[in-house]
Amino acid sequence: MTDTDVVVIGAGLAGLACAGQLVEAGREVVVLEAADAVGGRVRTDPVDGFLVDRGFQLLNPAYPAVGRLVDVAALGLQTFDAGVAVRRPTGLSVVADPRRAPRRLRSTLTGGLLKPRELAALARWAGPVVARPGRVKSAPDLTLAESLDRAGVAGPLRQEVLEPFLAGVLADDTGTTSATFVKLLVRTFLLGTPGLPRGGMQALPEQLAAPLGDRVRLGVRATGVEGRRDGVRVTTDTATISARAAVVAVAAEDVAGFSGGATPRTSGLVTWWFATDSPPYDQALLTVDGRARGPVQHAAVVSHAAPSYAPTGRHLVEATCLPSREGATDETAVRRHLGDLWRTSAHDWDLLVRHDIAHALPFQAVGVGSFRTTSAARIGERTYAAGDHRDTASIQGALVSGERIARAVLRDLGESAH
């Protein structure tokens, strides 16, 4: 006799998406979450009247799985401007998408970062994924650096804009990430404008969890899964649950404890959050350092894009660093670099919190041959695994992984997904 149809271990985005699909299909589900709230890596904390996400994250409404599973309008998405500010020796230049930010066209063209030959090379590199993403996925994969080299993407546009921006997005500045994955990511940036929910990024998993009600059990840590031909036994720190199947939807660094396999490679980030009375920059843009100086990979006055993140009359500033960069955890060095980026002083800003996230993102390796987007659904008898480390390293990857594993479970249980 079983206690439920499926136990989902982990209430991050993948686990919640999976559980939601199973419940819609009429299955009985229990979701076990060791933390005190849903979300996994997508969490938001109130700090001194500010909303502070655990690591700088953005939601892109152009992700297909977001369109299927998320009520974006209900989240009250507050968007950044479609562009990036670049600190150069000669000043601060802006590169913006002229389709969505036409008022920035003149400054974009006169900023000294766009050369006709470089733009043509970038179009050769990124153009095919916009028109024919399927063909790009099936083509031989390369590292990001090799792919840019082959397309002839060089000069200031690559060195001062593209590489610094992507390093912060990917949590990797080595150029060894899968080029196909990066192209697909760039495609979503071209199709949608990322932003922040009115209530913080945690509003996303909370929305996914709401229909599940008390099926989600917080503060319950699963310690093991024993798969059998007729079902599974999931042990927790307080009890044992019998089910017809189990889905392991834990973080990449924890999945090996349930599967016995290798731990997926991950990349880390360090994110600093500061409060100030006067904003150091007046635009809702990410700022990168085209000079490749200092520890800060990118920074932004978050409250310009998302006013709900700061109390009236104050401003919220984020600075994201790669752990490998010298000074990434040195407050003095970070403040100095922020002041240099925006030609101001960050000395008297209030430090709200620093997040050291060792496993911020799964590393998206180059595919063998063409790009690999999925891992096997099963990791054991009646046991499955979901997460962005099993698909693509993104919110899209987490959500679509949850959907995919739900379909696999339903198929194996003799049911069909809605």
Nearest to 178 by CA among 129, 219, 214: 129
DSSP string, 124-155: HHHHHHHH-HHHHHHSBP-BHHHHHHHHT--H
- E-strand ranges in 337-405 read 350-362, 378-380, 383-385
DSSP string, 297-337: EEEEEHHHH-GGGS-TT-EEEEEEE-TTSTTTT-HHHHHHH
- Asked if 14 contacts 253 with a C-beta cutoff of 8 angstroms, the reply is no
Angle between helices 116-131 and 144-151 (to 10 degrees): 120
105 pLDDT band, cuts 50/70/90, is low
Tell me how far apart the alpha carbons of residues 242 and 126 are, in angstroms, rounded to a whole number: 49
> Domains in the chain and their CATH numbers?
4-42+202-264+371-412 (3.50.50.60), 50-64+73-197+267-362 (3.90.660.50)
pLDDT confidence of residue 131: 85
- Asked if 53 contacts 46 with a C-beta cutoff of 8 angstroms, the reply is no
- Asked if 392 contacts 13 with a C-beta cutoff of 8 angstroms, the reply is no
Tell me how far apart the alpha carbons of residues 115 and 112 are, in angstroms, rounded to a whole number: 8
- Asked if 329 contacts 354 with a C-beta cutoff of 8 angstroms, the reply is yes
pLDDT > 70 fraction of the chain, expressed in percent and rounded: 96
pLDDT confidence of residue 416: 44
Token pair belonging to 285: 């843009």
Any bridge partners for residue 258, and if so which? none
Write the CB contacts of 381 (distance below 8 Å, at least 6 apart in sequence): 227, 228, 229, 232
Judged against a pLDDT cut of 90, whether residue 369 lies above it is answered with no
Token pair belonging to 114: 């766009």
Q: pLDDT (tens digit, 9 = 90+) per residue, 225-278?
A: 999 888 999 999 999 999 999 999 999 999 988 887 788 999 999 999 999 999
Judged against a pLDDT cut of 50, whether residue 179 lies above it is answered with yes
Write the CB contacts of 367 (distance below 8 Å, at least 6 apart in sequence): 141, 178, 180
Q: pLDDT (tens digit, 9 = 90+) per residue, 46-82?
A: 999 999 999 999 999 999 999 999 999 999 999 999 8
pLDDT confidence of residue 1: 62
- Residue 380's alpha-carbon distances to 221, 224, 239, 246, 257, in angstroms, are 20, 12, 21, 10, 13
pLDDT confidence of residue 417: 44
Report which DSSP code applies to 255.
Answer: T
- Asked if 394 contacts 184 with a C-beta cutoff of 8 angstroms, the reply is no
Token pair belonging to 135: 């063909």
- Supply the pTM of this predicted model: 0.94
User: How confident is the prediction for the chain on average, in pLDDT?
Assistant: 93
For the chain, how many residues are written?
418
